[in-house]
Structure 1
Amino acid sequence: MGNVIKSQVGAQALGKNVRVSVTKMQRIIDRIRNCSYEEALVLLEFMPYRACYPVSQLVLSAAANASNNLGLNKSDLFVSKAWVDNSKYLRRFRPRAQGRGYPIKKPTCKVTIQLSSKSIEK
């Protein structure tokens, strides 16, 4: 009945407390989801966002986990799942008038990248 593409369980990498807001990270994650491993690295290298560097490090880490722990070939990997969650806020205080302090909340996020291997069955 033709070729069936079967997705196997892959490896993942988790980045905690990445100092980027969720909305800025989400536009990068949406772009690389369902891309191949090589295509995701090229996209992350040439996108003009500061948040691309931590995501590229996570993709490289997930690929290393897949090749070392599961014995998968890096050329067969693709980004099967990728998501971003809220994390803690860094709380800072800015001095204001009349001795008051104004809170500054600096957002962080958790990023999870999961790579899977494509295998073709006949």
Structure 2
Amino acid sequence: MNQNNLESKAVGRYLRLSPNKTRRVLDQIKGKDYQEALMILQFMPYKPCKMIRKILKSAGSNANNLNMNQDNLIINKAFANEGPKLKRFQPRAQGRAFPIHKPTCHITITLINKT
């Protein structure tokens, strides 16, 4: 297989994060170098950064298994899809119930070699 066609992928599923807030962070690292993206995520103050960093490291390890050099990796694709919503109810006055939808998301990160 040609070294230029290789891509490494990692997926995190059913994460208890909002897909919209996660996409905001993923847009910051899309197209960046692997090492640079790890540095950016380390110092960003948002909740999804920790999980995204974990998934990015996993994609880097998968790339290492494919004999891809980690110094030459860039983030090709990074996206968050909606997962199932956890449905809960909050009790309200006079016996009523107020629905609460707790979102989940699936994060996918793909790395390729620089050309």
TM-score normalized by the length of structure 2: 0.92
* Residues 23-69 of structure 1, C-alpha deviations (whole Å, 9 max, x = no match): 1001100000000000000000011101100000000000001111x
Structure 1: gaps of 5 or more residues? 1-5
Q: Which has the higher strand share?
A: 1
The reply on whether 1:76 has 2:65 as its aligned counterpart is no
Q: 1:38 aligns with which of 35, 40, 52?
A: 35
Following TM superposition, by how much is the alpha carbon of 1:7 offset from its aligned partner in structure 2, in angstroms? 4.9
Structure 2: gaps of 5 or more residues? none
Q: What is the distance in 2 between the residues matched to 1:64 and 1:101?
A: 46
Q: What is the distance in 2 between the residues matched to 1:30 and 1:7?
A: 24
Following TM superposition, by how much is the alpha carbon of 1:80 offset from its aligned partner in structure 2, in angstroms? 0.7
Q: What is the distance in 2 between the residues matched to 1:93 and 1:67?
A: 45
Q: What is the distance in 2 between the residues matched to 1:28 and 1:44?
A: 8
Q: Which residue identity lines up with residue 118 of structure 1 in the other structure?
A: K
Q: Which residue identity lines up with residue 44 of structure 2 in the other structure?
A: M
TM-score normalized by the length of structure 1: 0.87
Aligned-pair Cα RMSD in Å: 1.3
Partner of residue 23, structure 1: 20
1:8–1:118 CA contact under 8 A, matched in 2: no
- Give the secondary-structure state (helix, strand or coil) at the position aligned to 2:45: coil
Q: Which has the higher helix share?
A: 2
Partner of residue 90, structure 1: 86
User: Which is higher, the Rg of structure 1 or of structure 2?
Assistant: 1
Q: 1:48 aligns with which of 45, 49, 59?
A: 45
Q: What is the distance in 2 between the residues matched to 1:95 and 1:7?
A: 56
**Superposed structure 1 runs of 4+ greater than 4 Å apart:** none
Q: What is the distance in 1 between the residues matched to 2:6 and 2:77?
A: 11
* Residues paired across the two proteins, number: 113
